Amino acid sequence: MRGWEWITSAHAITNKPCKLLGILLTTTGVEAELKVYNGGSTSSPLVFHIFLKARDSKVFNFGDGIFLDKGIYLGSFNRIGGVLVRWEI
């Protein structure tokens, strides 16, 4: 099953094993950051940390996907306008 979700705050996308296929990230007016975790909360293992300059949008495509065995949690939503997450179970 493939899915996508637009979120505007820290959020668990799924708690099932999955592949993270891509992220579209938009900032508000200043520098922004986003953390991606393997699991359902910020206490889960950190997968990566994205920093983006002011007034920018960026697409991250991960080809065949990044396998996350405990799910996807997006946290540290600092100055993020929104995030479109593509994933599959």
Place of tokens 């990230």: 25
- Is it true that domain 2-88 has CATH number 2.60.40? no
Domains of the chain by residue range: 2-88
The string of pLDDT tens digits covering residues 21-80 is 999 998 887 888 999 999 999 999 999 999 988 888 899 999 999 999 999 999 988 888
Residue 69: C-alpha distances to residues 26, 33, 66, 74 (Å): 26, 23, 10, 15
Strands (E), the chain: 2-7, 11-14, 18-27, 32-38, 46-52, 57-68, 72-78, 80-88
